[in-house]
């Protein structure tokens, strides 16, 4: 493999062409804009995970799992077991959903 060819291929990519050193130093990123973009990305990821439920009931259960993981005070501090009882689901189902949420969001290994 020719190193010079490989180097040339990397330089021709659109991402590298738009990310020149001059633009990096001349155009500082507004922290508020960056924070909004990061928040939007996180919210989108959460909403996509919730929408993976195939029924309205499953989406409601997923929403409750999100609230339990992020802000348990908003659902009265319900435990996963209590959520399962109200949703008429087994403990294993609820714990599996909670684990899936944590993994999807990068909160667990």
pTM of the model: 0.69
- Distances 10 to 5, 14, 18, 95 between C-alpha atoms, Å: 9, 9, 12, 44
* Angle, helices 80-87/91-104, rounded to nearest 10 degrees: 120
Q: What is the pLDDT of residue 98?
A: 95
Task: Give the residue among 90, 73, 72 at the shortest CA–CA distance from 81.
Answer: 90
Q: What is the pLDDT of residue 58?
A: 95
pLDDT tens-digit profile, the chain (109 residues): 444 444 444 455 554 555 556 666 667 788 898 999 999 999 999 999 999 999 999 999 999 999 999 999 999 999 999 999 999 999 999 999 999 999 999 887 6
Residue with tokens 């909403």: 47
């Amino acid at each position: 493999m020719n190193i010079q060819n490989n180097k040339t291929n990397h330089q021709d990519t659109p991402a590298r062409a738009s990310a020149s050193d001059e633009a990096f130093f001349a155009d500082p990123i507004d922290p508020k804009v960056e924070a909004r973009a990061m928040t939007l990305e996180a919210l989108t990821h959460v909403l996509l995970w919730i929408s993976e439920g195939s029924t309205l009931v499953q989406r409601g259960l997923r929403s409750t799992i999100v609230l339990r993981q992020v802000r348990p005070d908003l659902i009265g501090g319900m435990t996963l077991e209590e959520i399962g009882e109200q949703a008429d689901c087994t403990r294993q189902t609820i714990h599996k959903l909670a684990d899936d949420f944590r993994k999807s969001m990068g909160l667990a290994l």
